Structures are given as structure tokens and as C-alpha cells.
Amino acid sequence: MTLLLAEDDPELSRQICAWLTKSGHAVTCHANGSDALNTALRQAFDAVILDVNMPGKDGFEIVTALRADNDLVPVLFLTARDSVTDRVRGLSSGGDDYLTKPFAMEELSARLEALNRRYQQSATGQRRIGEWVLDTRQRRLRSSNDFIDLQPRECALLELFLDHEGRTLTKKFLLDKVWDIRFDPGTNVVDAMICRLRRKLDAPGHATCIQTVRGKGYVFKALS
Amino acid sequence: MFSKLFPDHTSSTWRLVVLQAITIGTSIALCLTLAGWALHRDLDEMGRKVVLDDLGEHAVFYEQEGIAGVEKLFASGMHEDDDVLRVVSAEGKVLFDHSFVAESRFHWPDASHLRKLANVKGLITIEHPENDEHTLIGRVVLNDGAVLWYGRMDAADRLYLSHIRNYLWIAGIAAAVIALIPVFWYGGQVLRPVRSMIASAQELAKGTGDSRLEAPSAVPELRQFATAFNRVLDRNSNLTRELQDANDHLAHELRTPLARIRGNLEAFQDNTKDETAREAALRGIDEIDRATTLVQTILNVRAGEHNALVLHRERTSLRTLLESIIDLYLPSAEDRSQNLRLEAETDSVLEVDTQRLVQAITNLLDNALACTPKGGDIVLRLETTPDLATISVLDSGPGIAKEEMEQIWERFVRGSAAAQSACPGMGLGLSLVRAVATAHGGKTGCRNRDTGGAEFWIQIRG
């Protein structure tokens, strides 16, 4: 993807740039809101990452200006404020997603992928997992001679894993996308749900398709 | 001194009316009694003078012209109605008698009585046998030994007095009506503004509005009070805003460096082959995430305690919200062989901050799951009334020690049940629950269930 990053903290900007470049994206970096807006207006990007508080123009102003220019590029806000009001302001001004600092780089990538996919509108009704086909409408995994019924959240979780195959997804990201919860409850609710999904998906004697990455989250690897 | 005079719920208008009635009634009664008494005394004095004058006059005429002179004088004085005159010779023969004995049934004192009375100096009062009228009688012994009696009935005086009394009553009642004007004034200028101030203060107490006390038509003192009170409110909201800004600033200033450290640790963890170093980086990342959550929670609790927690309210069906929470917790409860269920017979759609409310409820559920043994029951319950919703979490754990019932809601206080169980925590969970409930204009509470275990509840208004 070609990405635009506007972040005024030099160290954070460097880290994000390094991570995204290493992940194979082309990144243009700016530390000033006005410069970022000028670049975004001149050049086409697959996604834009904006810090909320910046000299020049803040993130909200940049999005408003972009949308006023009919630019529908997906926008992800980075912010040091964990307030719903800010989040709502960001999304209502035309932003597409919102990530609170500090964050895991993997989560940034996952969110960018999700944004890009939504932008490309490439979501399909049916997904393949080895011999299984996931039917999201009926919330059912089907094979030629068998089927597994899924609970609504299990289905949403599996769909999310399929969307981000091979990407380590953090608990925070899963809670946000599947349960619409933006904090981590004390009880290991996500672990329990993943265990349940594993029990349904994993054939006895085979390696699990949803692996735990210690300290980071979970990664889905398709059955070979 | 009047505070114990009225029941507590009596409004000040009624108190004023009662006090006014008592004061005005007493004053009028006092005036009437005093005026009546003074008038009575004056009339009495006047009556005596008239009797003495007439007595003297008639005696002079008797001395000059004999009984004929007395008759002439009496006839010219038009005294028929209420005056009496009798002249008795020294021998006891009645020379002249004009009295109304027959009509008014006054009994002219008989001879023996009169003789007795004759020794009395000054004037004599004879009472009417049937009503309380009196006749004032005087006597004078004439030169020839005859005795002249002259009397005067007080019927006319009494009539006059009763007229005056009637007028005084009318004046008194008119004065009482006029005296009610202050009550009406009080109602309009004092009580109504006070009532409207109470209403705005109640709104403020709920924390739903940012209104100010207004009393444009009130008395100057109330206007001054409203101004002073509003100044306090302004100062409070400034302080609240400063606290919010400071919280915001602190969170912002802390999160950015934490993000830098986290990024570097991640890069280090991804790039090192040394297992010990990877483990250390991992633990570092974990600690940063915990610290971030902790700081945010402390700030939220602090903001909640000072009524400065900013809410993002949305219309939310509480039953749907609780269903999704049950859905989230069911796998964990099943893993622990606990029976988690929802009891929500009614629903309530309220304007709430969904994220914060969910966080408060999950905090209660986290505690319930941590302290309920295998096979135990955990119930998430919703009870609603038209303007109030109570969300309770019932567990079957060890319950709450009596002396901890209130303490556990405070910051950094962990109950003994939490300390005994191995569950981690900083003792912020319940204080956050309380902060969220307070921010929603609600309250929290807990009790031990009769069947064992504890019940924690959040009560919120829409």
C-alpha cells in the first residue's frame, strides 16, 4: 500500500515508518498538519494515518478538508486521548478508524488492512478454509459431507481471522471489532472464546489453526 | 422560635398565613377590647355627669317653683324614654313619679330598699331583672325633707356602644384582608423565585444540565444569592474543566512516550534471537499496557469523583447490552464450570455511555467470576421502573465482610475476598463502577445475599 503518515512525534514517526516500510508499504511521512494535507490533496494514497494533535493543522481538520475535496481515502487516527467523545468526533469528521497510543504495530497493520479491504469492497460472502467453506450468512462452516454451526460472535471472530490471515491480532483489536468493546476486561474472555472456536475448528490430531502468540495476540494460519 | 410551631412539610406560605392570622386576630381582638372598655368608661362617666346635672337642676326647680316646676322641667327635657324621676315627700307620699316600670319591667326600688339606698352616698345602679341593662339613680334630700330621685337608663348608651363595636369589627376585617397583601407579595416575589431556584438546583444536582439559578423578578436578597451561587457554580465548572483538561493533558503526555517505549520494545523483541531478551521485552510491553490502563482508570475514577467524567450518551437498550455482555462472558464462565445467566424480564432504553457502562458491569462480573467457586451461580439481573434501571450482579462467593461494605468502593482498596483469591487487581474496579454510576446520576451498592454470596448493583437514571 502507499501510505501517508502525519505524526509530529519524531521518534514515534520513525518507528511507525520503519515498521510499515518493513511490512512492504511505501510511506510518506510528515510532522506538520498543513504539509500532510497538501501532500494528501496532491497525491493519491491507499490510506492516511493522522495524529490528532499536530502543529499546523490537526487531524480532524485534515480529514474535513479531504472529505470536502471529495477524497474518500481511508483515514486512521492515531491519538493519545482515550475518550469516546474524541473518537466520535474523529469518526464523524470523516475518519474511518481510531487507534489509541500506545498501540501494537501489528494492530496498526491489521487496522490498515481492514480499512483498505473496506475501501476496495472486496468482501465476499463465502471464504475457504482448507476443505471448509465459511458461509457468513448462515453462520455455518460446510464441507462436502459435514457442517459446523457457529454462534454469531464465533462467526464474526472467524471472519476477522480470515480477513487478516497470517497477521497477529491483538486482544484489544478483537474486542473492538467483534464485541465493540474498547477496553480489556479482567476476565480472560477472549481466550475462552478462542478456545471454544478452536474446539469447533480443529480436527483431532491436527495442529490448531488459531495460534497464540505469547504477549501479542492470536494468529490464524489456514489449514494446509 | 417558630421552628417547632409547624410540621416539617408545611410550606412557608402556609406558615406565613397562619402567623399573619394569629397576629392580626390578636391585634384586632386587643383593639376591640381596649376601645370597647375605654368607650364604656367614658359613657359611664358621661352618664353620671348627666344624672348629677339633672338631679341638681330638678332640685333647683323644686326649691324655686315646687313640684310644678319639676314637672315642667322634666316635660321640657323630653326624658320620657330613658329617664326616671320620682319625688317623695318627707312623709313618704309620692309627689311625682315618672318611670317606665310598667313597660320595661324595671322595678323601682321599694320604700324599704330606697330607704336603705338613701344612706348610700353618690349614685346607685339598679339592674334590669331580665337583661343586663342598668339604670343609674341619684337622690337629693330637699330643704323641705322631700327626696328627689333622678335616674337614667343606659339602653341608648349600649346601643351606641354596640354600633361602634360593629364598625370596629368591619374595620378589623378590612385590615385583616389588607394585611394579607404581604402574603401574596411573598408568594410572588419570594416563594416563586425560591421554587424555581430549587428546581434548577435539583437539575444541577442530577448533573444533567449546566443551568444557572435565575430569579429576575425576585427580591434583591434572592437575586444576590442567585448571583453568588452562580459564581460558585461557574468556579466549579471552571475547576471541572481544568480537571478534565489536566487529565487529558496528563494522559496525552504519558501516552506518547509510552507509545515510543512500546514501539522500541516491540522492535527489539521482533529482532532479537536471545530468548531471555525477548521474554524481558515481552514483559516490558505487558507492563506498559498495564500502566496505560491503570493511569486511564485512575484518571477516570478521579474525574468521576469530581463529577468531571465526560460521558458520551447514546440511546441504548439495556437488555440488549446485557445480552451481549453475557455472550462475551459465557465461554469464560463455562470454562470455570460456573452457571452464568441473565435475568431481564423487562427492558429499559436509556441514554447512557455504553462503553463506560459496559466497563462498570464487566468489572462487577470479573469480580463475580473470580470469587465464585466451581459449579456456583452468577446472575446478571436487570430490573426497571419507568425512570430507573438497576443492574445487579449476584455471585455465590464468600460474600462481603460487614466492615468492608463501604470501604471496598474506595480507590486502591481490595476486599478480603479479593486478597484471598488469587485474582490480580489494584483495587480500582469498584471505584470505577461507582464513578461511572455517579456520572450517570446513579448510585451503587452491595449486600450479602441470604442464600450466600454477594450482590452488587448499579442504579442509573435515563
Say what the ipTM of the complex is.
Answer: 0.87
In chain B, the residue whose alpha carbon lies closest to the alpha carbon of A100 is B255
Residue A23 with chain B: CB contacts under 8 Å:
none
Percent of chain B with pLDDT strictly greater than 70: 89
CB-based contact A12 B260, cutoff 8 Å: yes
Greater pLDDT, A86 or B425: A86
B248 or B209: whose pLDDT is higher? B248
Closest Cα of chain B to A124: distance in Å? 26
The shortest CB-CB distance from B331 to any of A101, A183, A192 is to A192
- Of the pLDDT bands very low, low, confident and very high (cuts 50, 70, 90), residue B259 is very high
What residues in B contact A16, CB-CB < 8 Å?
Answer: 263
B422-429 long-range contacts, CB within 8 A, separation 24+:
B423/A186, B423/B366, B423/B367, B423/B370, B423/B371, B424/A186, B425/A186, B426/B294, B426/B297, B428/B294, B428/B297, B428/B298, B428/B301, B429/A186, B429/B363, B429/B364, B429/B366, B429/B367
Which residues in chain B have Cβ-Cβ distances shorter than 8 Å to A11? 260, 263
**Whole-angstrom distance, CA of residue B54 vs CA of residue B77:** 10
Q: Is the pLDDT of residue B431 over 80?
A: yes
Can you tell me the distance from the alpha carbon of A192 to that of A194, in angstroms, rounded to the nearest whole number? Answer: 5
Per residue in B214-247, pLDDT tens? 777 778 888 888 889 889 888 988 888 888 788 7
Chain A: give the shortest CA distance to residue B231, in Å: 28
Beta bridge partners of B378: B340
Give chain A positions within 8 Å (CB) of B255: 80-82, 100-102
pLDDT of residue B390: 95
**Pairs across A and B, CB distance < 8 A:** 122
**Contact flag A85-B252 (C-beta cutoff 8 Å):** no
Residue B118: pLDDT above 60? Answer: no
Give residue-wise pLDDT tens across range B68-93: 888 888 878 765 567 788 888 888 78
What is the pLDDT confidence band of residue A75, given thresholds at 50, 70 and 90?
very high
Radius of gyration of chain B (CA): 49
Q: Which of residues 176-195 of A touch B (CB under 8 A)?
A: 179-189, 191-193, 195
A31 touches chain B (CB under 8 A): no
- Give pTM, 2 decimals: 0.69
Computed over every residue of chain A, the mean pLDDT equals 87
Residue-wise pLDDT for B338-381, tens only, equals 999 999 999 999 889 999 999 999 999 999 998 899 999 999 99
The alpha carbon of residue B354 is apart from the nearest alpha carbon of chain A, in Å, by 9
User: Average per-residue pLDDT in chain B?
Assistant: 84
> What is the reported pLDDT for B329?
94
Residue pLDDT, tens place only, A178-187: 998 888 888 8
Whether A81 and B248 lie within 8 Å, measured CB to CB: yes
Quote the pLDDT of residue B109.
62
Judge: B328–A185 Cβ closer than 8 Å, yes or no: yes
> Is residue B450 within 8 Å of residue B394, measured between CB atoms?
no
CB A13 within 8 A of CB A38: no
Q: pLDDT > 90: what percent of chain A?
A: 40
B412 pLDDT higher than 90: no
| Whether residue B29 has pLDDT greater than 90 | no
DSSP state of B353: -
Among B289, B340, B361, most A C-beta atoms within 10 A, so best to mutate, is: B289
Whether chain A has a CB inside 8 Å of the CB on B334: the answer is yes
Please give the residue of chain A at the shortest CA–CA distance from B324: A179
Lowest-pLDDT range of A98-102, B122-126, B137-141, B294-298: B122-126
Specify whether the CB–CB gap between B71 and B96 falls below 8 A. Answer: yes
What pLDDT is stored for residue B281 in this prediction?
Answer: 93
Contacting residues for A23 by C-beta, under 8 A, at least 6 apart: A109
Q: Which of B252, B310, B353 sits opposite A80 (nearest CB)?
A: B252
Nine cell digits for residue B10: 408545611
- From B439, B461, B445, select the one nearest B305 (Cα to Cα): B439
A12:B259 CB<8 A: yes
User: B292 at the A interface (CB within 8 A)?
Assistant: yes
**B252 interaction partners in chain A (CB closer than 8 Å):** 53, 80-81
Q: What is the pLDDT of residues A10-43, one digit of tens each?
A: 999 999 999 999 999 999 999 999 999 999 999 9
pLDDT of residue B111: 59
Nearest CA in chain A to B370: A187
Chain B CA closest to residue A187: B366
Q: What is the pLDDT of residue B462?
A: 63
Q: How far is A181 from chain B, CA to nearest CA, in Å? A: 7
Partners of B423 on chain A (C-beta within 8 Å) are 186
Residue B152 bridge partners (DSSP): B83, B136
Q: What pLDDT sits at residue A223?
A: 61
| Alpha-carbon span B141 to B120, nearest angstrom | 12
**Which whole number is the average pLDDT over B380-400?**
91
> pLDDT at position B3, please?
65
A149 within 8 A of A192, measured Cβ to Cβ: no
pLDDT of res. B77: 72
CB A37 within 8 A of CB A58: no
Distance from CA of B260 to the nearest CA of A (A): 5
What's the gap in Å between the CA of B197 and the closest CA on chain A? 31
In this prediction, residue B418 has a pLDDT band, given cuts at 50, 70 and 90, of: low
Average pLDDT score over residue span A87-115: 89
CA distance between the termini of chain A: 27
Task: Single out the residue of B321, B424, B323 nearest to residue B366, CA to CA.
Answer: B424
A118-177 pLDDT tens trace: 776 655 556 777 778 888 888 888 888 888 888 888 999 998 998 888 889 999 999 998
Predicted confidence (pLDDT) at residue B149 exceeds the cutoff of 90: no
